[in-house]
Structure 1
Amino acid sequence: MNKLKYLSFLFAALVSVGCMFTSCDDDDNFPIENQIAGEYKGTLDVSMSGQSMAMDMPQNITVDKASSNAINLTLANFNIAGMSVGDVTLTGLVLNEQNSGTYSFSGTQSLTLADPVGTVPVEYFGVITNGKITIDLGITWNDMDIAVAYQGDKLNGTESGEAAITAFSFSGENTFITSQPVINADNSITFSVADTTTTEHLQALQPVVEVSAGATYTASGTDFSQDVTYTVVSENGRNIATYTVRIASRINSLKYTFDEWTTDLFSLTRVEYPTPAESGIATSNGGAGFFNSGTSKLGFPVVEDENGYSGSAAKLITLDSRSQMSGIAAITSGSLFTGQFVFDLLGALNNPLTLTKFGIVYTQKPLYFKGVYKYTPGTNYIDGSGDETVDGLDIEDQCSIQAVLYEISSEDETLTGVDINTSDKRVAIAALADGSAKADWTEFNIAFEYLEGKSYDPSKKYKMAIVCSSSKDGDKFKGAANSTLWIDNLEVTGEVVSAK
């Protein structure tokens, strides 16, 4: 399927979630005003062809009386994975009484949805009983099935609308914490640690969280060696706030052995994926998690190899992903980098390269980038950069290993896959010149070269981006399936330079 056509369908189908209810005629009179009408607080799940698109997404539904036996439903500020589609109002839904206090609606109808979907068949089933509502929908388009499930509880009108973290701390005596957590105005929660703090110290921290009365919260994880996001939902479900807990102190020592690995969670699909345990390192596994929730698994492009140069190593693999999600990406190259992989559906639809946030704060003048690697190119070179994917090309794949120092004006600023190789914010680069096959472990020690007109200024702020890929043109969806890059003992050495 053409990528643009597929992505257009994905958006149109998700927008249409709120428009899939209908009604039938019935002359019964039901206690709608007293028992059914009101606001319901609940969660929404959406999947497509067995692959989860959203899970446990907070959503309120308002029910009001349309007639003696029918209701209207309104979904206010409806959104899927961060994409707002506005208010959706559904009218004239006729109820059937199953038993005392239980009412249902079900059937099949044809709906005309936004282009390019057009007219599609929809099956629906809903139940309202004892202050609870459940809704299940099914829509089929171009042999693809979309399933929507909602469940919620009726509010009594007295619930609070406050959604805030009111206090945040860590339990126990954590002597390595030099500055206790502070809740900032921008909803970041920051704390500082000693230079000798280990990953194990940060992973063992036990948070103590207090939120607004009646509110609930969820966390993206418990490993505070990396950013942890907290989502707070008000008691009435109308307000949602997000907070990010992070270490405020800057990372000066960049050395990665890849001897320790853990698992992280791709929150949208609830898929766990392997990741190095060392702070500041991310991989393309975050994106691959999007393609590993259905019955057909893509696999992960970055895994641990216990037979590394010394201890374990990172193994980066270029995957043939043409069979996944109707060919949205011809290949998925193994990528490992300093920084973060931040998934949002709208960014993935517009330009997936924006999801890789390269670099961590660096306060030294870099001198050398060193490490050890070996590389085996795959045999089937695939070019998926155009509308038509071509494979079997007579091209030998190459790997890419580089470190980039770039200037920032604030710590939130970052380069991405879009501009890491072109931005005028780049100051110095240390890049592997030869990305060809290496059967044996090969050491490299590359001096940083400053770009024309650029120099290190200790009064300015910088980030260091280490970026490694099993296919050097993987960001253009070009590379050989099964190209494999092993990397170990990466290190950036630098010197402290004082501002004059």
Structure 2
Amino acid sequence: MRILKYMGMTAVLCIGITSCFKEEPLNAECDIEKAWIHYENPQESTWNLSDTVIKVYSAENTIIFKVRPGTDRTRLAPMFITTEGATIVPESGTMHDFSNGPLAYTVTSQDKDWQRIYNVAFTEEHRTVRDTIAYDFERVFLFTDPQTKKQYYKWSDLKEDGTEANNWASGNGGFSMASPSAKADEYPTTPNADGYDGKCVKLTTTKTGPLGQGARMPMAAGNLFLGSFITQTALIDALRSTHFGLPFDKKPVRFTGYYKYFPGEKFQDRYGNIEEGRVDKGAIYAILYKNHDNDGNPVVLYGDNVQTSEQIVAKAIMPEVRPTSEWTEFDLSFDYYENEIDMEDINNFKYSLAIVFSSSDQGAYFQGAIGSTLYIDKVKIICEKTK
């Protein structure tokens, strides 16, 4: 009997040990996490050395390396880090011709069940010729988020050479996670046909769904800004999900445009408590900042420091977005903190410009009034004339 009991215990132990050594399921992720390039003459090929390394976020399917005009793009060998066990075709580090446009790379997951295609491009970054940069918000399209599989609106502009800029971002990606059942026209940032001239952008502070409520993010302000939004961190660290600003090679002096604004009826905090007597406020501002620190490391501004960072050299902030049902012009001057701007650094894209619009100025902290609505159209950045 003891022998049988011992044999039974041994069998159980063996089963337990076997289960401990059971193979883990193969990874189903098929993402590029980082891309980089080595140039023989980096100073002649790129404006900034930091442009040779790109961190790739999961919502992005396009990887763009910016190069100086005239850079030889016929023999380049970008390298990639992918998610664990994934394979990439063409192989990382192989030489290819990028002079005729993007090259498609296919990433296959370790379990072979999933694939994802990335378009990798090397685009010439030309210095801006115009002294006035205009944004009319006519180029709007439905974007399918590769992470949430939801569709929402995005905006872009054409560069002077006719290529797509893909310069505008919003918090729509975060809203797609907080309110997964919402339709594209129910998102906080949407197009509107009744602009000052043609289409405009409509920004609305909107109630989120159960996921947003549970994460103490009961609302999402409509916003639009130059920069990028990182969808996968939106419900974890919303303030750091907004990356404000893009490299800019002019000295801006004025920031103009047209707006309409309607504050919502009841202002509430992030816990849903109504604050009697408090009226919501919109936000319209532009920031110029140094995009590298003193050690040459790249810098980007976030939701928690976009107006306070020590990297800021100039601001153009509308002190009060007054409620108005008529299209109203704003014309703001850039207030410079430094007497002298390094024009060589300006010419080498070492400053970034952030333009920010929001239907609730405290929206980054999930405070505001549901229904607050800001319309924006015909925005211009007027720069110091090139000598």
Relative to the length of structure 2, the TM-score reads 0.67
**Aligned in 2, Cα 1:397/1:233: closer, same or farther, shift over 3 Å?**
same
How far apart, CA to CA, are the structure 2 residues paired with 1:164 and 1:440?
Answer: 47
Structure-to-structure mapping, 1:105-124, within 5 angstroms: none
- What CA distance in whole angstroms lies between the structure 1 residues aligned with 2:352 and 2:104? 22
Q: Residue type matched to 2:277 in 1?
A: D
**Is the Cα contact below 8 Å between 2:267 and 2:279 reproduced in 1?**
yes
Matches within 5 A, 1:41-120: 66=18, 72-75=22-25
Which of 457, 460, 468 in structure 1 is aligned with 2:357? 468
Question: Once structures 1 and 2 are overlaid, which stretch shifts more, 240-249 or 273-282?
Answer: 240-249
1:362-382 alpha-carbon deviations (Å, 9 max, x no partner): 111111100000100000111
Aligned to 1:424, the other structure's residue is in SS state coil
Q: Output the amino acid matched with 1:343.
A: T
Q: Does 1:314 align with 2:189?
A: no
Alignment correspondent of 1:338: 226
1:458 is aligned, of 314, 338, 343, to 343
C-alpha root-mean-square deviation of aligned residues, in Å?
4.4
Task: Give the Cα–Cα distance (whole angstroms) in 1 for the partners of residues 301 and 155 of structure 2.
Answer: 22
* Aligned length, in residue pairs: 308
How much has 1:248 moved relative to structure 2? 4.5
In 1: Cα distance, 2:224 partner to 2:320 partner: 18
2:322 aligned residue (436, 443, 446): 436
* CA 1:429–1:244: 2 relative to 1, 3 Å: farther
Structure 1 residues 256 and 185 mapped into 2: Cα distance closer, same or farther (>3 Å)?
closer
Give the greater-gyration-radius structure (CA).
1
CA distance in 2: counterparts of 1:275 and 1:321, whole angstroms: 19
Q: CA deviation at 1:244?
A: 5.7
* 2:241 maps to which of 355, 375, 381: 355
Pair 1:232 & 2:120 matched: no
Rate the CA distance shift 1:354–1:367 in 2: closer, same or farther, 3 A.
Answer: same
Structure 1 contact 330–389 (Cα < 8 Å) conserved: yes
For 1:304 and 1:315, locate their aligned partners in 2 and report how far apart those are by CA, in whole Å: 6
Alignment partner of 1:489 out of 355, 365, 378: 378
Q: Which has the larger share of strand?
A: 1
Task: Work out whether 1:271 is the aligned partner of 2:156.
Answer: no
Question: What are the residue-to-residue correspondences of 1:304-453 with 2, within 5 Å?
Answer: 304-321=191-208, 323-328=210-215, 329-345=217-233, 348-349=235-236, 351-384=237-270, 388-391=271-274, 393-409=276-292, 412-451=298-337, 453=338
Partner of 1:287: 174
Query: Following the alignment from structure 2 to structure 1, what is the Cα–Cα distance between the partners of residues 204 and 140?
Result: 17
On the 8 A contact 2:245/2:300 being kept in 1, the answer is yes
Contact in 2 for aligned 1:361/1:411 (Cα 8 Å): no
- Pick the aligned partner of 1:261 from 131, 140, 144: 140
Structure 1 pair 76/418, CA: closer, same or farther in 2 (3 Å)?
A: farther
Inter-CA distance 185–472: structure 2 relative to 1 (3 Å threshold): closer
Q: Cα 1:482–1:244, aligned 2, differ >3 Å: closer, same or farther?
A: farther
Distance (whole Å) between structure 2 residues aligned to residue 462 and residue 66 of structure 1: 59
1:263 to 1:242, Cα distance in 2 relative to 1, 3 A: closer
Q: How far apart are residue 442 of structure 1 and its match?
A: 0.4
Going from structure 1 to structure 2, the CA distance change for 1:366 and 1:277 (only over 3 Å counts) comes to closer
The 2-side partners of 1:66 and 1:361 are apart by 56
Question: Given that residues 266 and 290 in structure 1 are in contact (C-alpha distance below 8 angstroms), is that contact kept between their aligned partners in structure 2?
Answer: no
Q: Which amino acid aligns with 1:337?
A: F
Paired amino acid for 2:186: G
Separation in 2, partners of 1:485, 1:309? 13
Q: Which amino acid aligns with 2:341?
A: Y
Please state if 1:303 is matched with 2:186: no
Q: 1:422 to 1:295 in 2, by over 3 A?
A: closer
CA shift in 2, pair 1:296/1:326, >3 Å: farther
Relative contact order (alpha carbons < 8 A, sep ≥ 6): 1 or 2 greater?
2
Give yes or no for contact 1:377–1:437 (8 Å, CA) kept in 2: yes
TM-superposed deviation, 1:289: 1.8
Structure 2: gaps of 5 or more residues: 1-7, 9-16, 38-45, 55-62, 70-77, 81-85, 91-101, 158-164
Cα distance in 2 for residues equivalent to 1:235 and 1:165: 22
Question: Counterpart amino acid of 2:357?
Answer: C
The share of aligned pairs that are identical, in percent, is: 26
C-alpha change, 1:242 and 1:413, in structure 2 (3 Å) is farther
The one-letter amino acid paired with 1:283 is S
Match of 1:249 in 2: 125
Deviation string 1:36-87 (CA, Å, 9 cap, x unpaired) is xxxxxxxxxxxxxxxxxxxxxxxxxxxxx949xx99231478989999xxxx
Matched-pair contact (CA < 8 Å) for 1:302–1:336 = yes
CA 1:242 to 1:305, structure 2 compared with 1: closer, same or farther past 3 Å? closer
Distance 1:337 1:228, change over 3 A: farther
3-state DSSP of counterpart to 1:475: helix
Residues 196 and 258 in structure 2, CA contact (< 8 A), matched pair in contact too: yes
